[in-house]
Amino acid sequence: MDAIHRSTLMHPRGASSILIGAGVAESATAEMAPWLEGRTVFVLSTPTLRRLYPDTVDQWLEPAARRVDLEVPDGEEAKTIDHAARLWQSMLASGGKRDSRLITFGGGTVGDLGGFVAACFLRGIAYAQVPTTLLAQVDASVGGKTAVDMPAGKNTIGAFHHPDWVVVDTRFAATLDPAERRSGLIEVIKMAFLLDPPLLALVERDLESLLAADPGALGPVVAGAVEAKRRIVEADPEEGDRRRLLNFGHTLGHAIESALGYRGLRHGEAVAYGMLFALRLAADRGLPPGDALRLVRLLGRLGLPDLPSLPSDRLLTLMAGDKKAREDGLVWVLPTRLGEGEMVPLAEDTIAARLTTFLSDPWRDRVR
């Protein structure tokens, strides 16, 4: 058994205990026991994960009074208010109480939906996140953001509800589709570039091992990314300006995903293009060219699929409707230099001109 990296995220309503390591989903069993003892425990997962890991969470449940399995389909289509309502009905029908527990075992979809289900069930029950994708491990599982999608937009309905436990077993990343792993690494790169230059250097050095899911390489990088996320969430638990730095690349990224109907590019891939565009806006405001080039080169090594052709006016409309927009317009996250960023409101015509050029050649900066 490898060493467990431990940390504690303090938030306005308590604390989340974070455990990271290869095999930690098993080695955490004794530590989780008091939290589960004598409780009704709901375990939310998907058919694929139950098949891949039929007994990973089982061993935790010996001290529980009762286990109730909840299931949602694989993929983003599970993240609806209808699925949440169905789960609430089952939980009520099977006698869930305010002191019941919920464990979410899955990727970002399971974690976001499960967290929302826990947040609103009897006005909030305690839950644990056991993220199984790299993306969920380094991003969604930490910080208490929960959500479901509405036809009008992703993650538009939700709540802040921190898990009591986040159990990050880096072995799960090894079973991921490589493209899924790459998508998660892009979020690591985003955090590292804006918040943690030494972590960026580590990713630059180990990129190929990370893409190949080498456990020795993944451990420190996942722990570094989770720590960067933990620090920013503690500084700004409910997403004022500081935490919104994590939206670097997401303004255009979300619009690209939406314009493509969430097909063709993965979340991280769309965010990578969003970062490339934000770098151009940041260059206009004085981001040192060497810093920008470092990020462009690293993203270039990922071998991303091409950005499909998209009309800029469609993307502008989608960005104007972004849930992070405020009444006074869209605010962009732009790096000022490596390890630092700012929130900048920009007029739509400034964006429009830059966007058309960008879409015609997103990788231009790599070769200059």
Q: Is residue 145 within the footprint of a copy of itself (CB under 8 A)?
A: yes
C-alpha triplet 225, 227, 233: angle, nearest 5°:
105
Q: Is 145 a catalytic residue?
A: yes
Q: Is 97 a catalytic residue?
A: no
Q: Is 5 a catalytic residue?
A: no
**Interface pick for a copy of itself out of 4, 159, 211, 343 (rule CB under 8 A):** 159
Q: Enumerate residues 6+ apart whose C-beta is below 8 A from 16.
A: 8, 9, 142, 144, 162, 163, 164, 165, 166
**Interface pick for a copy of itself out of 8, 15, 77, 98 (rule CB under 8 A):** 98
Q: Is residue 156 within the footprint of a copy of itself (CB under 8 A)?
A: yes
Q: Is 162 a catalytic residue?
A: no
Considering only residues 26 to 65 of the shown chain, the ones binding a copy of itself according to CB under 8 A are: 38-40, 65
Q: Is residue 95 within the footprint of a copy of itself (CB under 8 A)?
A: yes
Complete edge-to-edge strand list for the sheet that includes strand 66-71? 5-11, 14-21, 165-169, 126-131, 101-106, 40-45, 66-71
Q: Enumerate residues 6+ apart whose C-beta is below 8 A from 288.
A: 337, 338
Q: Which of 26, 239, 340, 342 is catalytic?
A: 239
| Interacting span for a copy of itself (CB under 8 A) from 42-50, 148-156, 191-199, 344-352 | 148-156
How many CA within 13 A on the CB side of residue 104? 37
Q: Is 11 a catalytic residue?
A: no
Q: Is residue 235 within the footprint of a copy of itself (CB under 8 A)?
A: no
Contact 254, 322 (CB under 8 A): yes
**Total residues at the site for a copy of itself (CB under 8 A)?**
45
Between 75 and 94, how does the x/- string for binding to a copy of itself read (CB under 8 A)? ------x--xx--xx--xx-
Complex with a copy of itself: residue 15 or 65, whichever CB lies closer:
65
Residue 162: φ, ψ to 5°: -75, 140
Q: Is residue 147 within the footprint of a copy of itself (CB under 8 A)?
A: yes
Give whole-number Cα distances, 217 to 7, 192, 199, 202, 231, in Å: 20, 15, 12, 9, 22
Q: Is residue 158 within the footprint of a copy of itself (CB under 8 A)?
A: yes
| Interacting span for a copy of itself (CB under 8 A) from 150-158, 172-180, 189-197, 203-211 | 150-158
Complex with a copy of itself: residue 55 or 328, whichever CB lies closer:
328
- Would you tell me the crossing angle of helices 108-120 and 81-93 to the nearest 10 degrees? 60
Q: Is residue 123 within the footprint of a copy of itself (CB under 8 A)?
A: yes
Q: Enumerate residues 6+ apart whose C-beta is below 8 A from 240.
A: none
Length of the chain: 368
Q: Is 243 a catalytic residue?
A: yes
Q: Is 155 a catalytic residue?
A: no
Instruction: Return the C-alpha torsion angle 116, 119, 120, 122, nearest 10.
Output: 140
326-336: buried (b, 16+ CB within 10 Å) or exposed (e) per residue?
A: eeeebbbbbbb
Q: Which residues are catalytic?
A: 123, 145, 187, 229, 239, 243, 247, 250, 254, 267
* Interaction site with a copy of itself (CB under 8 A): 12-13, 38-40, 65, 81, 84-85, 88-89, 92-93, 95, 97-100, 119-124, 145-147, 150-153, 156-160, 238-239, 321, 323-328
